[in-house]
Amino acid sequence: MVNFLSTYISNMKKHWIPLYKHIISCIMLIFTLLVCSCGSKVARVPIPIKVQSEIDINTYSNFAVLPFVSDKNNSKIDDIPVEIGSEIAQILRSTLSRQKHFTIVDKQETDRLMTGEEIDGDNWLTDTERLSELGRYFEVKGLIIGSYRFTTDTRPRRYYGERYSYRQQRYVMDYQDYMQKTYLILLRVMILDVDSGEIIWDEGYLQRTDEAHSLGSLVFSQMAPKETTMRELSKRALAKFTQDISPHYEKEDRFLIR
Amino acid sequence: MRNTHSIIHICIVFMLLTLIGCTSHNVARVQDYNQFAIKTAQAGLWNEAIFRWKQILSIDPENALAYNNLGVGYEALGKIEEAQAAYQRATELDPDSKYYRINYRRCRLHIRRSGDESKETESESSDIHIEDTTQD
């Protein structure tokens, strides 16, 4: 009997333990598959969602855009031409004209009606009575006015990378110093209700872009005209403003269940 | 007598197997339709996807999954009222699914943001109940 038992146990050890290992690995495989299948139970799909305008577009459907003025704190840069304010206004006019909800007074008409008007940065944006009067000349519901502040900031930076060293026959860590020049524009856009003389929209839009320079190219960039950069940054900022005040579609996720 | 018993037993087993077979066939069909519908939805073919989910509902009218997915389809096509009704039905059928509640809540938020309160057709009490349970 004892012999039989010992033979049985040795047989068990010989045959069943490897089988036991197989069973465990099978269970682990099934568990892994289960976990994987649970992970993909849901499919995330983006759907278009209509976002309404943040202003009442039924009331404010026709606008006049007046030239933007330089911010009075804009003392860092002196070589920006005054015409840039008119250019920013023209960019906004053309952006808003593409929206079917708005009617915009064109540039020629604006220039004609603004002849003889003095635009100064100090109290231009705060004199709502004068602006309302101008709005009535234009026969519009809303008057878009604003200011710009353009600044640049230059800082030394270090870029870490790898280069191949022939002497050591391998890649080695290396760095390179450069100057990073950052252009910043802050556009303050306001909408004035012509009838009541109240400001119904007052938001700042900040845009920035960076350039990498060596010392030599930095000197040249300081002398180069900055209008192109300003125009590009203004376009981006005004696109954001236009999106805010006009109905548009945005993507939002929903869950589909498998 | 024994023969009669055995014949009855065989019949019962056969009927059970037929029933199980039919049910599993339907389940497989529902899964196939749903997989196909999700693929078409991901490709932007929402009308085709909605047609498939409606087919699932004709097979199984109490399928919460199909109602939820149908709601997504309707919302993607801008049919907000239908979407809201479908989401609501899905959450009623399966109140424990967080994904149904998330979709339903987002749909209602979308309606509120768009300022069209009149589209929120159902009673506020059920809304409040679901709002409370969807803080996940």
- Same domain, residue pair A66 and A118: yes
What total number of domains does chain A contain? 2
Q: What is the pLDDT of residue A74?
A: 60
Average pLDDT across chain A, whole number:
85
**pTM for this structure?**
0.68
- Same domain, residue pair A8 and A127: no
Chain B nearest-CA distance from A245, in A, is: 13
Q: Give tens-digit pLDDT for A152-210.
A: 899 999 999 999 999 999 999 999 999 999 999 999 999 999 999 999 999 999 999 99
The answer to whether the CB of A150 falls within 8 A of the CB of A187 is no
Sign for the CA dihedral angle at B103, B106, B112, B116 comes to negative
What does the alpha-carbon distance between residue B95 and residue B97 come to, in Å, rounded to a whole number? Answer: 6
What total number of domains does chain B contain? 1
Within a domain: B90 = yes
Within a domain: B13 = no
The stretches in chain B having pLDDT less than 70 are 1-2, 11, 13-25, 115-136
* A46 in contact with chain B, both atoms CB, cutoff 8 A: no
Q: Considering only alpha carbons, which residue of chain A is nearest residue B106? A: A254
- Same domain, residue pair A16 and A89: no
Q: Give tens-digit pLDDT for B36-56.
A: 999 999 999 999 999 999 999
Within a domain: A36 = yes
Choose the closest CB to A43 out of B38, B100, B114. Answer: B38
Chain A partners within 8 Å of B110 (Cβ): 49, 252
* B76 in contact with chain A, both atoms CB, cutoff 8 A: yes
Q: Which amino acid is at A210?
A: D
Q: What is the pLDDT of residue B134?
A: 38
- Same domain, residue pair A136 and A215: yes
DSSP state of A258: -
* B56 in contact with chain A, both atoms CB, cutoff 8 A: no
Domain that holds residue A22: 2-40
* B129 in contact with chain A, both atoms CB, cutoff 8 A: no
Pairing verdict, β A62-65 and A103-104: parallel
| Of A38-42, A92-96, B18-22, minimum mean pLDDT range | B18-22
Does A224 have pLDDT greater than 90? no
- Same domain, residue pair A240 and A189: yes
Q: What is the CATH number of the domain that holds B88?
A: 1.25.40.10
Q: What is the pLDDT of residue B124?
A: 41
- Same domain, residue pair A7 and A84: no
Does A2 have pLDDT greater than 50? yes
Yes or no, beta carbons of A255 and B68 under 8 Å apart: yes
Within a domain: B10 = no
A243 falls in which pLDDT band (50, 70, 90)?
Answer: very high
